[in-house]
Amino acid sequence: MFRQIFALTLLLLSACASTAPGARVPVSTLPVDSSRVYDVSEVTTKPQLSNRAAVARALETNYANAARTAEAEGTVTLRLAIDTQGVPGSITVVRSTNPDFTRAAINVIRSMRFTPAMLNGMRVAVRIELPVTFSPSP
């Protein structure tokens, strides 16, 4: 199960944006608004997951708690903001293929910590969507 959870963690990282996490995009000439939550596509440096081991444990624990029947699986897509300290918040459900996993997915997201997104050298809050997929080990 750990291999599958680690693969899911890597999938979550790649879902942060259409470009690689940490990738640079063109620098804006507009001043940075520190009170604004930017879309992840607007930032200079994308957030990166910084606590993979803790997220792997959260995935395993929350899957075990949510999977009441054998072979239960589901994907929950969540929209969230990552603040200037790298902490996720403002979590909302975009869609869920199995409502039994909604609370578990939110718990996994809450366990995540990121390096903050940057825009023109300043930390900024960003909005992203992440899918969390729960499935039994093969």
Domain that holds residue 125: 2-134
Each residue of 57-89: pLDDT tens digit?
Answer: 888 888 877 775 556 888 999 999 999 999 999
As a whole number of angstroms, the distance between CA 116 and CA 50 comes to 10
Q: What is the CATH number of the domain that holds 72?
A: 3.30.1150
Neighbouring residues of 17: CB distance < 8 A, sequence distance ≥ 6: 23, 40, 41, 46, 128
Whole-prediction pTM value? Answer: 0.75
Total of domains in the chain: 1
